Amino acid sequence: MPRFALPTLTLAVAVSLTACAGSTKTAGAVGPTGASTREIAVAQTSAPAAVTAGQALIALRKAVPTARFTGTVTAANDPNHLLGRPGQYTSKVTFSDSRIAASDTEGLDQGDVERGGAVEVFASADDAARRMTYIQSVTKSMPAFAEYDYRHDTVLVRISKFLTPSQAEAYKKAADALG
């Protein structure tokens, strides 16, 4: 199954389940999509609901109110040219953190991780883990690009090195609570 089919399947299942909610149909009855309600229930348990980077940031902001949305990465403005590519993020947003001094971020672009962070969402947890491993291997050899990285399932939260470890820990706890 193509990677982009999972979110579509999940949406179709959610719509089907919503349409069937409160129904008195038997387990073998046919739902509005032609799938039996039993097939729908099986699909729901085997396909986790997809979260977008924007939704993940909203959840993070509840725990870390100093985070402020700065932008959505699109195929047209992605500086890494990774959005939607095989094995790469399917959505990404950037944010600033008001606890970071403006003098630390002079000359940086609006969406740079150093201003606060970024949330990247992947089609699979393995893809997110590979991206995190890659970033950590690059930043290990170049401390100027160091950052905190936290992963929960398909969501990778990248946090600026300008935050203290205890400040970054709040993002880790929030990331761990996702989904």
**Mean confidence (pLDDT) of the chain:** 80
Q: Please measure the distance between the N-terminal and C-terminal CA atoms of the chain and give it in whole angstroms.
A: 23
Six token digits for residue 134: 């890659």
Judge contact between 64 and 24, C-beta under 8 A. Answer: no
Q: Is this model's pTM higher than 0.95 or not? A: no
Pairing of strands 91-97, 67-72: antiparallel
Six token digits for residue 109: 């672009």
Judge contact between 151 and 119, C-beta under 8 A. Answer: no
pLDDT-derived band at 30 (thresholds 50, 70, 90) equals very low
Q: Quick check: 63 pLDDT over 60?
A: yes
Any idea where the domains of the chain sit in the sequence? 5-46, 53-176
pLDDT of 69-128, one tens digit each?
Answer: 999 999 999 999 999 999 999 999 999 999 999 999 999 998 999 999 999 999 999 999
Distance CA 81, CA 74 (A): 9
- Residue with the bigger pLDDT between 40 and 109: it is 109
